[in-house]
A and B are shown apart, each in its own frame.
Chain A
Amino acid sequence: MLRRTLLATALGALASANGLMAMTSLASAETLVMWGPEQITEPLIAELWNGLKADFEAANPGVTVEFMPPTGTISNGAVQAAIQSNAGPDVILTNSGIARVSMVVDAKLIAPLTADYTSRGWDKQIYPWLYEELKRQRAGEIYEVPDGLDVLGVWYHKDMFAENGWTIPATYTEFLDLMQKIKDKGIMPVAIGPRTGGSAGHLFGNMLQSASGTETVGKALAGELAWTDASMLPGAARLRDLVDKGYIDKQMAGLDLDGASRLWFNKRAAMFVAGPWFTANARKADYDLGNASFTAMPSDLGAGKPTGGVGWSWMIPTNSKQPELARKWIDFILSEPVMKRRAESASSTMLYPRALTGVTPPTPILSEIFAAAENGVGYNPSVYLPAGVVDTYFQVIQGIIGAQITGEDGMAQIDAKMAEAK
């Protein structure tokens, strides 16, 4: 009896030891959980990222990369909830900009990366002006590594414009005439989906840029100029004017990006303000990208300029279980072969954070967008406004489009929030 008991105990101890060893072996294999990329369910995007994942794993034996499909953004709290769950990602790729990044920095959810820029050479791997811009935003501390820059302008249908003899004019005054002609044809001149904050901001940012110019908008964003200043008001007044003239249907106040882009893909609307990422939406809607053309919104101040800013960035949560591996992943993403591969992929949807030579954009529309951005881009306020202001900014745009408030009232509300944020 005693012998049997001792034998059973020894066998049990052996089984436990084997189990522990198995667990230890599993634990020594590292897993990097990555939040993103957006639209990972799209076959082209999945193909690219699964390829990148395989290359990283091959270069780092024992490492597995897992994608965590995004359930939202920083703006709607999804990123914050994921990080605070303590079962969240080790590295994040999400929509950025100072407003969004500040939200998670102030909540101490992401780690500073300032030292890594110099120690890992990231400062040499992005545009110098971009590095300076990042350092300026939070008094020298950097919390993100830009993955892509947005370039926002007017998308229009080549065939529609050709059939009707329309061309995008040089000045805003002529642009209004064009919109009247489009409206007379029974087509909506502009579609917008302000229920999606970003979409609202794309059009409004372009209106501000066209009316006030880069320097004035920049000063307003830096808090050096009131949003109610006479030099800033025209953009908002023009947006309300477009609604009053019927060039923007005020029922669009209830539409989101998908609802608005559906109007454009079905050619019920002539123009739509978006960025290079819109190619992914177009592909999903089976729209012929060869028929799309891009231009900066016309301005009376000179040549039109698209707006933009840092669109997407990498961040590392403070509770990342693999902070060093996350940094290695960012090294990998910033490497020349990976960046070129992404830029030449059919799924490419953005401007990269440094100049890439010998790269041919996969679609003609992307060439047009990159060409439009060659002389620089203006500010997309959505990504430059402080965190506490950007929500009011989006709501004001909805209010203007729904004809609930005037442009002046809207700018007064934004200005009040800027004063609070100061």
Chain B
Amino acid sequence: MSAVETKSSTEAGEAIARVGHAPGGRSGHRDTLGTAMPLLLPAFAIYAVFSLAPIAWTVWLSFTDSRGLNTSAQFVGLANYQRAALDPLASQSLLHTLQWLAGHLVMAGGLGLVLSLLISRLKRSRIVFRTALFLPHLVSLAVVGVIWANIYDPFYGLLNTMLKGAGLGWLTMGWLSDPLIVLFSVNLASSWQGFGLYMLLFLAGLQNIDHSLYEAAEIDGANGWQRLWYVTLPGLSEVMTFVVSLCLINGLKGFATVFVMTGGGPFYQSELITTYIYRLAFSLQDHGLAAVLCILLSALAITVTVAFNQWRQRAAR
């Protein structure tokens, strides 16, 4: 190629680079978009109908005095938001939700981690234990609620009966009637159902830790706790952040076990935001206030998730 041809082709190449990657430049980009849109449309339509529209409808409801689908809803401005701000039950249920969240993280997430560490140390029957301990996760939360409500029965339940039989009658209590422990009791039942998934995730993470790191630590004289702290836990950091995210999301969704076991009682002591929303929407038909609390719950979920992700990114640096 001559110098002139080279220069021309270089200039042509630069020109192509300026207007876009695809041959044909801007019009090529439009063509790609034009092809993609009809293919994306069905998925977007389903998303719009089943996600975006209900969200928009909920936001609309929060500004109305709606009493149900069949009734005419009048615009009431921020009246529902004011009611929510002044409603002691709303703030109490929010507090309970945060307590529930923390409890789920510690009990379900913590139990999953501990059991995965124990199972990973087994030389035999690992599969048996892994399967057996995962089984509760297959049971629906409503059924879990019924089972544990019977376990917690203060007069006939398994727990108090076993405690009395073991000479520990002084430990028996009203697991679902004592306002100080009712939320813990229900959370324990819910965590019993949930820990199995986290345990499996941790087990998968443990298998990915390079075994030579343990050998090196042993050579350096590290004991069991030191190996756990300096090798295992750092090796599990990615899985841990994923499990914590899951715990936060699942914790905020807590509803079924509370609904079945206590209905939010006694005297609202186990009322979560989710159960309060249900009570408002479906028992009291106060859709406006229920919608406000739905938005509050969503804001809480977004805040918690964003804050956690930001912390994770800073920690990774």
Residue ranges of A at the interface with B (Cβ–Cβ < 8 Å): 75-77, 80-81, 84, 103, 106-109, 194-195, 249-256, 259, 262-263, 268, 318, 387-388, 391, 395-396, 398-399, 401-402, 404-405
Contact = CB atoms under 8 A, between A and B. Distances in A.
Contact of B266 (A80, A108, A254): A254
Contact of B265 (A195, A250, A262, A263): A195
25 contacts: A76-B283, A81-B282, A84-B70, A103-B283, A103-B284, A106-B67, A106-B71, A107-B70, A194-B266, A195-B176, A195-B266, A251-B154, A252-B177, A253-B176, A253-B266, A253-B267, A255-B177, A259-B155, A262-B155, A262-B156, A387-B284, A387-B285, A391-B279, A402-B266, A404-B179
A254 B182 contact: yes
Interface of B: 67-71, 149, 152-156, 173-179, 182, 262-263, 265-269, 278-279, 281-285
Nearest to B174: A251
B283 A77 contact: yes
Given A107-B71, A254-B176, A402 B154 contact: no
B282 A77 contact: yes
Contacts of A396: 267
A197 to B, nearest CB: 8
A254 B152 contact: yes
Contacts of A399: 266-267
Contacts of A268: 155
A395 B267 contact: yes
Nearest to A413: B267
Contact of B153 (A75, A107, A259): A259
Nearest to A109: B70
Chain A contact surface mostly: helix
B154 A398 contact: no
A241 to B, nearest CB: 18
Contacts of B152: 254
A195 B262 contact: yes
Given A103-B283, A254-B262, A84 B269 contact: no
A399 B70 CA distance: 35
A185 B149 CA distance: 29
Q: Which of B69, B156, B285 has the most CB of A within 10 A?
A: B285
A404 B182 CA distance: 13
B71 A398 contact: no
B283 A402 contact: no
B68 A402 contact: no
Contacts of B266: 194-195, 253-254, 395, 398-399, 401-402, 404
B269 A404 contact: yes
Contacts of A81: 282
Contacts of B173: 251
Given A252-B177, A402-B177, A388 B265 contact: no
Contacts of B174: 250-251, 253-254, 402
A109 B285 CA distance: 11
